Amino acid sequence: MKTALVTGGSRGIGRATALLLAQQGYQVAVNYHQREAAAREVVTLIHQRGGKAFSVQADIADEEQVVTMFRTLDRHGAVLHALVNNAGILFQQAGIEELSAERINRVFATNVTGAFLCCREAVKRMSLRHGGQGGAIVNVSSAAARSGAPHEYIDYAASKGAMDTLTKGLSLEVAAQGIRVNGVRPGFIYTDMHADGGEAGRVDRMAPTIPLQRGGEPEEIAQAILWLLSDAASYITGSIIDAAGGR
């Protein structure tokens, strides 16, 4: 059975992806930082549907915790085939004049350093030269990497731009080791993250500016992630799918 690790798997796009991967026959490791009950709910739901899953706690901004998380997977006897770097944070909407070094560094620690660390540990296990079976990595970026999110989250947008660069560079570095690396850039998706930024109704406000005239659902992004992880995308690496309703 193939095993997939989904970081930030307790809610939103991560939750939808974990459920979909389990439905497709993956054993899913559901990572969470603080939302233990929500992560366990995802695992329980997967079990109720006949799938296999377990939760694993780690703040991916902490290198030691990332290493421990992957060792937990090893102890479960899980041969890692797929990594979904979905965990990410943002803070209250703000312009550049209101940003502190502490805030910027916290965003980058999770969204960039955390993604790098998870990729590093995944490559160590997937790489053919380390005795692995190959695999696939999908980095969940954001359409903000293209727009820059002015007056709202330029720190978050910049962190996602860094994730896009990671996707391209890593794809070239590990292609010969049987590992594909791709990305998905969601647009305005109905998740709790907008409430974290102080505007729970942000998607509805922006919907008229989207060519498809609506916000997206987490399940729609999960479908793109699933495809990139699947054998149907076996000749695709270093690519990023824009899943933003045409915006």
Q: Are residues 82 and 136 in contact, defined by beta-carbon separation less than 8 angstroms? A: yes
| Cα–Cα dist 154/99, whole Å | 9
Q: Are residues 224 and 84 in contact, defined by beta-carbon separation less than 8 angstroms? A: no
DSSP state, residue 189: B
Q: Are residues 235 and 29 in contact, defined by beta-carbon separation less than 8 angstroms? A: no
Mark whether 26 is an active-site residue.
Answer: no
DSSP H helices in 111-184: 114-126, 144-147, 154-174
| Cα–Cα dist 58/85, whole Å | 13
Strands in 58-120 per DSSP E:
80-85
Candidates 124, 125, 84, 117; CA nearest to 228 is: 84
Q: Are residues 240 and 170 in contact, defined by beta-carbon separation less than 8 angstroms? A: no
DSSP state, residue 213: S
Beta bridge partners of 32: 57
The total of other beta-carbon atoms located within 10 Å of residue 235's CB is: 7
Tokens standing for residue 178 = 């049987």
Q: Which of 26, 32, 153, 156 is catalytic?
A: 156
The total of other beta-carbon atoms located within 10 Å of residue 141's CB is: 29
Q: Which residues belong to the active site?
A: 156
